[in-house]
Structure 1
Amino acid sequence: MDQLTEYQLTFSLDEFLSLYWQKKPTIIKQGFKNFKDPISAEELAGLTMEEEIDSRFVSNLNDDWCAEHGPFDETKFSTLNDSHWQFIVQAANHWHQGAAQLVKPFKQLPQWLFDDLMISYSVQGGGVGPHIDQYDVFIIQGSGRRHWRVGAKDIGQYKETCRSSALRQIEGFDAVIDAILEPGDILYIPPGYPHDGYALEPSMSYSVGYRSPKEQELVSNFADYILAHDMGDVHLSNPDLRARQQFGEIQQQDLTQLTEMLTSALEHPETIKDFMGCMLSQSRHQLDIVEPQQKWEAEEIQNYLQQGGPLHKVSGLRALYHQGESNIAYINGEVIKVPTTQCHILETLCNQDEFQLEDLDGETDTSTISLLCNLVNKGYWYLLD
């Protein structure tokens, strides 16, 4: 494996969270010193040709906006103009080990909030136009320079316009930030702030995004969870029903009983915990999960670990546990339980991207090795050759 670059922030995340997180946008000059791109434009273009990878191409020559979804083929890139286009790859950290290193400096932020690393390559004039996102994003400038404008947050002030069916843009805004980003600079934008960026020259841009679920998603996914687990399969019972003259009226006691039925599932903390764990541990983007063609045996996993071999978590895989209950882990929507004496094993799986036997306190009992073997055979963790 090629040597991977280790990126380090030049500022304190704690201080940043206190001053800026979901409060106001800011530019951090040289957030990464001596920044080097973890991926080339050619490699990024190659990712846009893969069926399972979410990619887009956006052009705006002569203010004629066009957006297309991938995958693309080589002919797409052989007929392009010299300016006013860019291509974008979502969840690039799932598919490129070098790009995934850019996420590591932000690991102190909750994993369940992290969405993906989006990478774009733009030629002069390339961009996606003025728009508003509903998530937190750190935009890291790679090679080249990019001009960014950010406006004030004012819900309802900005009017959407449709320049292309694959783009959501707004008509314009007054800038509170107007600056040129150079390699290693970081622009942070909270949810709801309008922004627009375009390349001054061929350049790379890396967006580390954090997205919380909407109330709609929680309600919808909880309903699906209730159905999938066959909960609440009962009808309203009212043996004390009385005849009424106003038969078109929903009486207050009727409404109270129906409301109690509706909210009864929310009164079971264990149900809520399992639902939240399962939902939050599922990525919004496809993962590069490949089950081994030949299943590993537990003895092989044990020997590998005892020889000092590391196990690596698939990039982007979410592994979570609830505070105070680390004997239960939620991994890619699945529930994993261990005895309370083995909590440290699940904590290691959830809090580390790779680990060795020493990280498990030398634990090699049958149940531990069986668990690890099962996770490897699912393709969630993998061994280095």
Structure 2
Amino acid sequence: MTDVVLLGSTGSIGTQTVDVVAAAGDRFRVSAIAAGGGNVALLADQAAALRVRDIGVTREDSVAELREALAKVWPADAPAPAIHAGPGATAELAGLGCDVVLNAVAGSAGLRATLAGLAAGRVVALANKESLIAGGPLVTAAAAPGQLVPVDSEHSALAQCLRAGRADEVRRLLVTASGGPFRGRPRAELADVTPAQALAHPTWDMGRLVTTNSATLVNKGLEVIEAHLLFDIPYEQIDVVVHPQSVIHSMVEFVDGSTIAQASPPDMRLPISLALGWPDRVPDAARAVDWTTAQSWTFEPLDDAAFPSVGLARRAGAAGGCAPAVYNAVNEQLVAAFHAGAIGFLQIVDTIAAVLDEWLSVRHAAAGNPRTVEDVELAEGWARERAAVFTN
């Protein structure tokens, strides 16, 4: 049985992970869960159903409410769980004894947990791409071969497709994108986009940050950086192609002209189960494509003029150092401002461009590669401050 620590258990990936574990019989056991504390009732219900040994909650002011909720649902025949509270709770749980740490924390706040899991020698199933992007060389240096396993559907697909050939046979990676809710619209039609419209993703049901990132295609930019860091493929060999049906999750083109694609209906349970069981597959984790039904799959190039976020991510990734952390931190700040009604939709990517320009011209050379988490956090703090200045 594979012992799992699940971080971000009450979010979209976290709740689907609980479903995967429940459906897999005795293949997996979740021994610890953690969440921010925004949905204490769900966290308590999950803990009771899974009979976990440890619970983490980032918001210390949620502990009393959590204890009260646990008292109502905790099984009488199970030992009471230990509660870890505070900003370091997720990192504490990541260092506990287990086989796999699934990090589904939202945003770069997951960096310390990713590093803690790697330092403890655990396999880290990474749904928290931002920690890899922000941490960059810190994370890649800490990870032994095979220790980082992707949960994102695109990178799970790439990992599967890469099994079809040797590293020296790979010509390029093709990361697919649904195009989000505004696919086909020119930039001029995006000025008045509302938060509700940005959250109306045509394919995936995700949290606010990731869904908004999919609308701006910042998420695809982050995925290009993630693909480079996970698979050590140069940026000029990583392309994005728009595939609205979201059935082909990504592809690998080989030097002989062959392209291998991974296809499955859009369902995160498949990449989650594969990450938990890697390199083995979990039978019946998700439904397969129905080949008895007529269907069409289409592909189109990315509109860089309407969605320049991918190009900006390439620029940040190629610069290296803390530039990807700056890109990501500015975006997190601006998504929150957009949903608060403080800025317009187009200001998100426009401000990322402005702050990234300033970082690369003024601070990048002196900052160099991050040597500690604190170096990353300093760059992120600067980026958030500059984002606030640009949007006031």
Higher fraction of strand: 1
Higher Rg of the two aligned structures: 1
Would you say same fold, with TM above 0.5? no
TM-score, scaled relative to structure 2 = 0.23
TM-score, scaled relative to structure 1 = 0.24
Higher fraction of helix: 2
